[in-house]
Amino acid sequence: MLFDFLRKGESFQNHPDAAAFELGNVGYTYEDGGVGLLRTSLNITPDDKRVAVIGLNGSGKTTLLKLLDGALVPAEGVTVTVGGETLNTASKRDLKRVEQLVGRVRREEIPNAFYQAKDIAEALTAPLKKRRVAEGERNAIVGNLLAHFNLSDSARRAASELDSEKRHLLAIAAALTFNPAAIVADEPTKGLDEVGSAHVAAALFSYDKQVVFATHDTDLIRRPEYAIGRTLVLDEHRIAFDGKPDEAVAFYEDLIRRKAEALRAR
């Protein structure tokens, strides 16, 4: 049976594995007057399979990601194109569609409903059941997610019982339940030690979905096994650099050095 949010004849199983994101001179100011992002133009194509976003705290990383995935909507809107379908987040109808096609990961934040479920297998199954997915298909989807993210042994545990690494993994699995075309992740390895960060990164990048993510871990984005092809450096609410990971990290480290020198010179 088709999900009630799908277009006629569409199955979430055949969603493309990448999307195109475009900001055309778009900025965002919060209600309190704080600037989130200065007017910015940015194109991320389906060929940009791994895009990292780095920058100091308050530089605009989270605002940029929320504009890309529709969590924040500027007056002008942001376009997301999936499989030839172009959507504008300023349109309420299009925004709902973007929310279906772009998975959101917010650090290790698990949907609140997951803490009400008996166990994490039930939590992952519930939204599929609500959308009237057949039982056999539900079981296959959840089983595959649990296996890929090394959560099978924890399937019958409550979300509140998981350690930090497993909560990070569950947050990603939850975002993938309906097979989105792309994942937008805000610091998906935040707070983890080197081993835990490696486990989460390996699981995320091996799932074969386009990933646009923010991180403070500059070593992670340079590791060849993760195949990060493009890195944006944000500074003072704007994109200050856009290029290869090694070059971006060098730019970022020089930026930090110059800022430290300026503070000492005051």
Residue spans of alpha helices (H) in the chain? 61-69, 92-101, 120-130, 135-148, 164-175, 194-205, 218-222, 245-265
Token pair recorded at residue 229: 């092809």
Question: 80 lies in a domain?
Answer: yes
CA dihedral 18, 217, 89, 71 (to 10 degrees): 130
Q: Pairing between strand 79-82 and 50-55?
A: unpaired
**Which domain CATH number covers 43?**
3.40.50.300
pTM as predicted: 0.91
Question: 171 lies in a domain?
Answer: no
Q: Pick the more confident residue, 11 or 142.
A: 142
Question: 144 lies in a domain?
Answer: no
How confident is the model over 77-130, as pLDDT tens digits? 799 999 889 999 999 999 999 988 999 998 668 888 899 999 999 999 999 999
**Residue 21: CB partners within 8 Å, gap ≥ 6?**
42, 43, 44, 68, 78, 79, 80, 81, 212
pLDDT at 4: 42
pLDDT at 14: 64
How confident is the model over 188-220, as pLDDT tens digits? 999 999 999 999 999 999 998 999 999 999 999
Residues forming beta bridges with residue 35, ordered by sequence position: 29
| Structural domains of the chain, count | 1
CB count within 10 Å of CB 117 equals: 16
Rounded to an integer, what distance in angstroms lies between the CA atom of residue 238 and that of residue 149? 34
- The domain in which residue 26 lies consists of 14-110+181-265
- Tell me, rounded to whole angstroms, the distance of Cα 192 from its chain centroid: 17
Q: Are 73 and 194 in contact (CB under 8 A)?
A: no
